[in-house]
Structure 1
Amino acid sequence: MDPCDTPRRPGRPRGLDSICREKLLAAALPAFARHGFDGVSLRAIARAAGFDASMVSHHFGSKADLWYAVVEQLALEFQADLEDSALGVAGPQPVWQRLAAVVDHMVDRLAARPAVVMLVSREINDPSPRLDFLVEHLLRPAYLHYAPLWREGMEAGVFHQTDPAVFHLSFFGAVAMALSAQEVIGRITGQPMDADRLKQEIRRAMLGDAAPD
């Protein structure tokens, strides 16, 4: 029996509760991303994590609470990721060089977490308290982090002048679509599109003549 299937008792290591919670969060993210909030059950999420459905209630309470916990975990990971990319946004390098580094970083991160892209895509088409939570914890912080760099790129003539929020969401949407359609791009062109070439083409599409080779 998985120790996560046993509710916490006196003397049970607290670290085990943390491990069980992480397993549920790891199973819940792709489940919510693929099937949507209404399309997946707590039983299915628990089964994917490898233990009984009662453990979801034990650790999170309800399906809504589990969904919010997933986004809170993503927000923590995203904040750490923003700190890693902070130098590229405000460093001493020329703006085109910082833009290229940020574009590459975004492509790498979105490619590594397709479930996050799917989750966001689902929720933005379904106005609800969940969308409000997603905006406040993920979408707005990302915009506020990158908007100064987008404005700097516009002032330098790398991008056309436009509303930074529109630019930001258009960029994320375009990158997400290109990544999800990588195989289709190869079929359309008749040439394989590997990850490195796709990143290079996205960089060129974003930065034009300012894109480094």
Structure 2
Amino acid sequence: MTATPTPRGRRPKHLPDGRAALLAAAIDAFSQLGYDGANLRGIARGAKVDASLVRVHFGSKEQLWRACVDALEAALAAPGEHLRSLSLDTARPVTERLKEAIAIIAAHAVNHPEHKRFIAQQASETGDRGAILHRQLVMPVYEAMAPLIVQGMQAGVVRAEHPAMYFCVLVHALHPPPGSPVLMQLIAPQVGGDAFGPALVKQVEWLFFADPNAPKG
């Protein structure tokens, strides 16, 4: 079968511009295939642009990868700042603030599912890429929320040996595998489909908060 040539020239108005399309396609490719598995021609095909535009907009595969990290970091700026403000707002009950933090992380997971996939696929990276991933996508969110987790531990509503482990498990719980709402619709329709998100947040709240007055095992 002869491949359909990638169209050249001006893109239709209903499609994102070439740079934005390449960035979205690259995030998807790196999330699924990793850095070594993704290739520029495949990314260009996914973006429906000519492969030469990768060099025009980004210069190289490495620079394209870094642009993907920058885009994901930018999407984290607002929720990260919100988490930081919750950690500082000690006048409010810590349980109330932790529930709000869970809602923020859950909303980001719904709106940006590519974020966890990108980190999970690239987590084994070492050298410069591993350091960039750690510095730009992992630590800012953890450092924003860690004081709040510690406050929960001190109040007895969070049971954890270390705030980092609590954070890790919490984030994973709020990023279920793709297709979970559909699967849950088959198992238990009342918490599947459109009801899955709110039900997941409620379940996480129940699992991740402890009664400070309950006996400790």
Length-normalised TM-score, structure 2 = 0.79
1:41 and 2:43 equivalent? no
1:200 and 2:202 equivalent? yes
**Aligned pair count?**
197
Letter paired with 2:172:
G
Letter paired with 1:203:
E
User: What is the deviation of 1:20?
Assistant: 3.2
Contact 1:107 1:175 in 2 (8 A): yes
What SS does the corresponding residue of 2:209 show, helix, strand or coil? helix
RMSD: 2.5
User: What is the deviation of 1:128?
Assistant: 4.5
Matches of 1:180 and 1:128, distance apart in 2: 33
Superposed CA offset, 1:166-210 (max 9, x none): 221222123223676444455556764222212211222112458
Q: Which runs of 5+ in 2 are unaligned?
A: 1-7, 213-217
CA pair 104-22 structure 1, distance change in 2 beyond 3 A? same
2:70 corresponding residue in structure 1: 72
1:3 and 2:10 equivalent? yes
Letter paired with 1:202:
V
Matches of 1:196 and 1:61, distance apart in 2: 43
User: What is the deviation of 1:126?
Assistant: 4.1
Matches of 1:30 and 1:76, distance apart in 2: 17
Report which of the two has the higher share of helix: 1
Matches of 1:131 and 1:178, distance apart in 2: 24
1:104 corresponding residue in structure 2: 103
CA pair 54-181 structure 1, distance change in 2 beyond 3 A? same
Matches of 1:131 and 1:88, distance apart in 2: 29
CA pair 34-203 structure 1, distance change in 2 beyond 3 A? same
Length-normalised TM-score, structure 1 = 0.81
User: What is the deviation of 1:138?
Assistant: 1.2
User: What is the deviation of 1:58?
Assistant: 1.4
User: What is the deviation of 1:42?
Assistant: 0.8
User: What is the deviation of 1:125?
Assistant: 3.4
Matches of 2:211 and 2:25, distance apart in 1: 43
CA pair 168-179 structure 1, distance change in 2 beyond 3 A? farther
Aligned counterparts, 1:55-134, within 5 A: 55-91=53-89, 92-134=91-133
- Determine what percentage of the aligned residue pairs are the same residue: 29
User: What is the deviation of 1:2?
Assistant: 3.6
Q: Which runs of 5+ in 1 are unaligned?
A: 5-17
Matches of 1:165 and 1:180, distance apart in 2: 28
User: What is the deviation of 1:80?
Assistant: 2.8
Letter paired with 2:55:
S
Segment drifting more, 88-97 vs 135-144: 88-97
